[in-house]
Structure 1
Amino acid sequence: MGLLTDIFATGTGNLITSLAQVADQFITTDEERNTFKMQMASLVQQRESEIELTIRSEQRAKQAILSAELNQDDKFTKRARPMLVYFGLLMIATNYMFFPILSRFFSVDTSPLPDLPMEFWAGWSGIVATWCIGRSAEKIVGTNRVTRLVTGKKATEVVG
């Protein structure tokens, strides 16, 4: 929270300085000025604490969602990434193996067949990398305390 506190503190510090300059025009005694500064500091502290509580509750909600997704028994969701990997392999095989073989043996013209777009390669390689990292993390869940905390699995539930 240090970075966020610094960011918000910088903004609120400038706001307090501006408000203090305006208030100095209307407040005449030192006692009123000190009371004003104390009340402003209290309001700023209260607002910063509300912001921090909001950020923490969002982080807890995200962690709960991630844990629920990892622990669910929905086979389709668990198989979504592998299915996309296999679909990408099918597209690659079709584009770079199947059609060239057809063109060689059956005299089918494949010259208008375009290369797979860069977006395909970027998306597919990202999915493959995520899947590989996730599977590796699942396999070492029995020995890695951090991974157990994220996935919610116990040390005895090693995935094979």
Structure 2
Amino acid sequence: MGVFDFLGSAIKPVTDLIDNLSTSDEEKAELKNKLLEIENSYKAKVLEYESKVVESQKEIMVAELQQDDLYTKRARPTVLYAGLIILLVNHVLLPWASYFRGMTVPSIDLPSEFWLAWGGVAGIYAFGRSREKLNNSKVDKLK
């Protein structure tokens, strides 16, 4: 349930109450208009807040990429490589070694938090690199 759905469900009882008041039709319309203005103002503030959050996230990513420290630029790929190494060890090397030694090694299930964190980092990194390459190709065409 989004913010706007919540807001709409919160305002509906108030508009119903306005209809049930023993006031003139003009007063009811005026109250409904004021309520609609408040709702629209709130929606605008929520959208403004969300755009500021996105803008600040963008500024953080740009600042990370513009730093001279190579490790800061490579932090996300390092997380990806570490995750790949964990997957390789757990699902390839250990089963392979146990097969050739005639041993049975219990499977090591990775926690859902690992998959959530690693998948999030991988997705964000892939999106960022794709966008970066797309922007670079557009700049090259302009030259």
* TM-score category, normalised to shorter length: 0.5 to 0.7
Quote how far apart the aligned CAs of 1:48 are: 0.8
Instruction: Describe how 1:7-156 pairs up with structure 2 within 5 A.
Output: 8=4, 10-77=5-72, 78=74, 80-81=78-79, 83-84=81-82, 87-88=85-86, 91=89, 95=94, 111=103, 113-115=105-107, 117-119=108-110, 123=115, 133=126, 137=130, 141=133, 144-145=134-135, 148=136, 155=140
Structure number, greater radius of gyration? 1
Quote how far apart the aligned CAs of 1:12 are: 3.7
Residue 36 and residue 91 in structure 1: after superposition, are their counterparts in 2 closer, same or farther (change >3 A)? same
Does structure 1 conserve the Cα–Cα contact (< 8 Å) formed by 2:19 and 2:28? Answer: yes
Q: Which runs of 5+ in 1 are unaligned?
A: 105-109, 156-160
Q: What is the distance in 1 between the residues matched to 2:7 and 2:93?
A: 59
Quote how far apart the aligned CAs of 1:40 are: 0.7
String of CA shifts for 1:104-150, please: whole Å, max 9, x gaps: 7xxxxx736444x2428x85x959x6699479749x83xx22xx49x
Does structure 2 conserve the Cα–Cα contact (< 8 Å) formed by 1:81 and 1:131? Answer: no
- SS of the residue corresponding to residue 23 of structure 1 reads helix
Quote how far apart the aligned CAs of 1:54 are: 1.0
Q: Percent identity?
A: 18
Does structure 2 conserve the Cα–Cα contact (< 8 Å) formed by 1:24 and 1:33? Answer: yes
Does structure 1 conserve the Cα–Cα contact (< 8 Å) formed by 2:95 and 2:105? Answer: no
Quote how far apart the aligned CAs of 1:72 are: 2.9
Hey, which of these two has a bigger chunk of helix by percent?
2
RMSD: 4.3
Does structure 1 conserve the Cα–Cα contact (< 8 Å) formed by 2:18 and 2:32? Answer: no
Quote how far apart the aligned CAs of 1:45 are: 0.9
Does structure 2 conserve the Cα–Cα contact (< 8 Å) formed by 1:12 and 1:44? Answer: yes
How many aligned residue pairs are there? 130
